[in-house]
Structure 1
Amino acid sequence: MFNFSQKQSPPRVVVISIDGVPYSFIQKRIAAGDLPNFKKLLDDGSMRRMNSVQPCVSSVAWASYMTGKNPGKHNIFGFIDKKSGTLETFVPTSENVMSETIWEIMSRAGKKVFVMNVPGTFPPRPVNGILIGCFLSTRLESIAYPKHISAELKARHYRIDARAAIARENPDRFIDECNLVFTRRAEIMLHYLEKEPWDFFQGHIMETDRMNHFFWDQAENGDSPYAKAFSNFYKRLDELIGVIDEKIGDEAELIVLSDHGFCAIKKEIYLNRFLAEAGLLKFKTASPKSLHDMHAESLAYSLIPGRVFINLQGREPNGTITPARYEWARQQATQTLLELRDPDDGAPIIREVIKREEIYHGAYLPAAADLIAIPHDGYDLKGDVTKAALSEKTALAGMHTFDDALLFMRRHDNKPARENLWIGDVAPTILKLMNLPVPADMDGVAL
C-alpha cells in the first residue's frame, strides 16, 4: 500500500481516470522521455501496478472502483449480462449497479462532486453536484444530472464517444475522431474544474481505450504507419495531466488511475464454437443465430468474455443438468476448456478456469457465470454463436489484461506495505483522504 507522508492530505480530491492504460506502457514511455508531465508527477508521488477484476471489462472494473466492492455485491459481471431465467442479453447500466457509489456517499455527507464520463454512470443518478454519464448514452439531452448541464454540453459541442465503427473502415479518420473527442472532453473537464465548486472531481478519458483497441500493435512496432499518431495522442494526454496538475496545485490530492492493462491480440477466439466442437454445446439448427437456438442437451455455453454458464435445470430456460450433477458439469467444462489449443501452433489458449465463488461473494453471486475462463495474453475470448471458425484476426489490435492497471497518488511514497493492489482499493482510499467513513461492506482496503 501507499504510505501516507507526514504532511496532512487535503480533504479535496481530483481523479483523472485513463481507460485501459497499462502501468508498464506508461513507465516505458516515461523512460523514453515521451511523457514529461507523468515523469514530473513521480517527483512528488508514486505510481504502482494494480490488478483489475475478472473478467477484465471496463464496466465491471469501474463498478468495482466506484463502489469498492466485488461484482457479487455490485451486480455488474460483463459488458453484456443476461436476464434471470432467460437467454435474453442486455447491456447493464447504472440502474443495474446495486450498490452506493463513492460520489453518492460523498453527496450524503454534504460534499460537492463533479463526475464525468466514468463507464457505468448512465443514466446519471442524482448527486450533490454534477454527473455527466458515459458512452452508454446515445443522446446529449439525457446524459447529465442536473438536466440543464446537458444543454451546456451541447452548446460547447461535447462529444460522447469516438465511433468505433469508423476504425474498421478508415483508421486515419478514426484517429482524427479520437483526437476530436479528446479535445472536447478536455475542454469540458477544464471548464468545470475552474467554474464549479467541488470537493471531489473526476474526469474520465475513454479515448485511450479506443486507441489501444485499434492501434496497440502500433505501440509495439515503432516502424508501423500509425506509430507516430499513437505516440502523439499519448503526448496530448500527458499535456492534459500537466495542465490539471498545475491548476490544482497543492489544493487537492491528485490520483491518476486506469482500470486494466493491454496487450496485442494474436487471435479472437469464439468460445461457443469450441464448446460446440467439443460436444458441450449443441444447437437445434446447423446455422444458429443466437443462444435461443441452443439445444436442451447442451452442457454449457458462453457469454463474452470467457464467462461459462452450465445449462442448469431450474435456472436456464431449457436446463437439463440437475443440481446433483452441477459440480460434475463444471469439472467437465473446466477440463475441456483447458484443452483448447491454438489451431496453428498448438499453444494453450486458456491459462486458468475459475469458479465464480472463488472470486465473487455477495447477494448477487447467483447472477454470475459458473466459470470464468482466463486466456493467455493475446487470445481475446468472444461469445458469437454464428461463427463457423474457431478463431480469426480482425481490425482489433489490442485486448485487456488483468494485472497491469496503474495507480498514481501524489504525496505518497513508493514503499508498498502490501502487494496485490486491486481497483476496489481505490474507493475506500478516496473516502479516507476526504475524512469520510468507509462503509463496512466495502471489499477494498484503504491504502
Structure 2
Amino acid sequence: MKAPKVMIVGFDAATWDLAKPWVAEGFMPNLARLMAEGARGQLESILPPITPPAWTSFTTGKNPGKHGVFHFMESTPDTYALRYTNASSRRTRTIWKILNQAGIGTGTANIPFTYPPEVLNGYQISGMDTPSEKSAFIHPPELREELERELGPLKLDIRFLGFMNTDERRDQVLDEMRQMDEQWTHVGLYLLKHRPQDVTMLVFMSIDTVQHYFWQFMDKSHFLHDPAAEAKFGDAIRNVYQRLDESLGKLLEYTNDGTTVFVVSDHGGGPVSDRVVYLNRYLGQLGLLCYQQDTNNLLRKTLRTVLRRGYMFLRSNLSSRQKVRLAALLPQLRLKTESFYTSFTSIDWSQTKAYCSEVLASPPSIWINLKGRKPHGIVDDSEYENLRDEIITKISELRDPRTGEPVIKRVLRREKIFHGSFAAEAPDLNLDWWEASHFMTGPAFPMIRMNHR
C-alpha cells in the first residue's frame, strides 16, 4: 500500500480552548500522540474568521484580497444584489494545482468552497458549497460511481438541523452528525487504500455544527444555559471531538514514518452573544441610510407579514445547503421574500451613503455607497474618509446598557486587513465580532422608517 507523503486532516472550527483540556483528560489520544511527537501551535485565522475565506486562504496561501473570497455571499458587479459564493469566486491557483504541475498527485475531500470541483491529477470531492447531492461534485465522475457502489449514496445534509426545540430533534441531529462523520471516515479510508495520492486532505464539519447548536448546554455562563438539559447534552461537543479523534487514528494507520501529518482548523468557536445590533436601523437613525417610501396599504402589510413569517420558518428549519438549493430553484421568490423580510432590498440607494448586508448570515460589515462603484452611488471620493471616520465614531457610541461598555470595540478599515487585486471588493468597514467584541446582528424590517437623525 502506498502511503501519502502528506496527509492533512481538517477539523472545521476546532479550537484549542476545548481540545487541550480534553487531550489532557485522555479523550483525544491520537491528537495527543501527534502533539507529543511533532509541533503544535495556535495559528491566526483570516479576518473575518469564517469558513469561506479561511479555507480558501489555506488552499491558496493568499489573503482574501488576492483570491477574491471574503464571505458566504458576494456582491454582483454593477448592482446591489448578492449571490452565494463558491469555488468559482476564487480567482487564483490552489496548492493542489500547483502540486499537480510539479508532478505531485493530490486528492481532497469535503473541503468547503471547492464546488465545482477542480480537474486534478488525483481527485476532488467538493465540500459545503455543493448545491445538492445531484450536483456534479466529484472529479473524476467515475469516482462517484465507485464510491457509491462501495459505500452507498453520499449524504451532504443534516436533515433536522435548525428548528431544534425538542430533545428528540436534538438527538436526531447528533445522530446524523455521527452518521456523517462515519461516512467521511469511510470515504477517507477507501480513498487512501484504493486511490492513493502523494498529498491528501479530508475535512470534517461536525465540530462547527455541534458548537453552533450545543455550546449553551456545556457552558454554565451562557445566557441560554439550561441546567436541566445539561445532563443530556452537556457532553455533546466533547463527544464529537472524541469521535473525530478516533477517525484520525484510523486515518493514521495508512501513514508511515515518511508521512507528514497536519491537523488543521479554519477558525475557532465560542458562545454566541445576547447583544443584538441592527446595523441598517442604526445607519438610518444616523441619517446615512434611507428606505423607499411605502403606501403601507392593507394588502401589502398582510403580504409582508406572511412572507416574513415564512422566511423566519425557513431560516429556522433548513440547513445552509437547503437554503442555497431553494434560492437556486426559486430565485425570484427569494428576492421578493428578502425584500419584505429585511431592509436591504427596500433601501433608497439615491439617498443612502452607507449600508450593511442583512441577507442570511453575512458578517456584519458596512459598505460605502461610493460614486462609480454602484449604479446609484452618491458618496464622492473626497467625502469617503471623513464618512468612514464618522461611522467608526458613531459605532463606538453604541453601549451595552447593563455595563456601559461599547458593544462594538473595534472597527477595521478594509485596507488594514485586505490587500491584493480584489481588495476593493471587500466591505469598507469590518466590525470585529470575534475578538474585541461579542455581538450578533439582526435584520431591520422595512416597515420601521428611520430616515432622520
Q: What TM bracket, shorter-length normalisation?
A: 0.7 to 0.9
Is the 8 Å Cα contact of residues 273 and 388 (structure 1) preserved in structure 2?
no
Counterpart in the other structure of 2:336? none
* Distance 1:329-1:184 versus aligned 2 partners, 3 A rule: same
Matched with 1:39 is 32
Task: Identify the residue that residue 407 of structure 2 maps to in structure 1.
Answer: 349
Q: Work out the percentage of aligned pairs sharing the same amino acid.
A: 29
How far apart in 1 are the matches of 2:293 and 2:173? 38
> 1:129-148, CA deviations, whole angstroms, 9 ceiling, x for partnerless residues?
10000122112451111111
For structure 1, the residue ranges without an aligned partner over 5 or more in a row are 1-9, 390-447
Please give the alpha-carbon distance, in whole angstroms, between the structure 2 residues aligned to 1:271 and 1:334. 12
- Structure 1 segment 88-237 matched on structure 2, within 5 A: 88-137=81-130, 138-155=132-149, 156=151, 157-163=153-159, 165-166=161-162, 168-169=164-165, 170-221=169-220, 224=230, 225-237=232-244
CA positional deviation for 1:67: 0.6
Q: Shift in Å at residue 300 of structure 1?
A: 0.9
SS at match of 1:361: coil
RMSD of equivalent CA atoms: 2.3
AA partner of residue 94 (structure 1): A
Structure 1 pair 380–140 and aligned structure 2 pair: CA distance change class (3 A): farther
Q: Kindly indicate whether residue 418 of structure 2 is the aligned counterpart of residue 360 of structure 1.
A: yes
Q: In the alignment, what sits opposite 1:329? A: 387
**Structure with the larger RCO, 1 or 2 (CA within 8 Å, 6+ apart):** 1
Equivalent in the alignment of 1:379: 438
Retained in 2: the 8 A contact 1:164–1:210? no
- Choose from 346, 353, 357 the match for 1:293: 346
**Cα 1:285–1:213 shift into 2, 3 Å:** farther
CA–CA separation in structure 2 for the residues paired with 1:260 and 1:158: 26
**In the aligned structure 2, how far is the partner of 1:201 from the partner of 1:310?**
42
SS at match of 1:50: coil
Instruction: State the distance in 1 between where 2:447 and 2:8 align.
Output: 44
Matching residue's letter, 1:291: F
Work out the number of aligned pairs and report it. Answer: 380
Deviation at 1:280, TM superposition (A): 2.5
> Structure 2 residue aligned with 1:248, among 249, 255, 274?
255
**Cα distance change of structure 1 residues 314 and 125 upon mapping to structure 2, 3 Å threshold:** same
The question of whether the paired residues in 2 share the 8 Å contact of 1:340 and 1:349 is answered with yes
In structure 1, C-alpha distance between the alignment counterparts of 2:159 and 2:287, rounded to whole Å: 38
Task: Check 1:366–1:244 CA distance in 2 against 1; reply closer, same or farther (3 A cut).
Answer: same
CA distance in 1 between partners of 2:106 and 2:123 (Å): 6
Q: Please tell me whether the aligned partners of residues 62 and 118 of structure 1 are also in contact (alpha carbons under 8 angstroms).
A: yes
Q: Render the CA deviation track for 1:390-412: whole Å, top value 9, x for unaligned.
A: xxxxxxxxxxxxxxxxxxxxxxx
- CA distance in 2 between counterparts of 1:270 and 1:164 reads 28
Letter of the structure 2 residue corresponding to residue 329 of structure 1: L
- Return 5+ residue gaps in structure 2 as ranges: 295-303, 305-338, 449-453
Distance 2:431 2:414 in 1: 10
Q: Distance in 1 between matches of 2:384 and 2:401?
A: 30
Would you say the 8 A contact 2:291–2:347 is kept in 1? yes
- 2:363 aligns to what? 305
Match of 1:260 among 262, 267, 279: 267
Matched-pair contact (CA < 8 Å) for 1:355–1:372:
yes
Q: CA deviation at 1:342?
A: 3.0
TM-score, normalization: structure 1?
0.79
Shift of 1:266: 1.6
Give the structure with the higher percent strand. 1
Q: Cα distance, 1:41 vs. partner? A: 1.5
The Cα of 1:311 is off from its aligned counterpart by 1.3
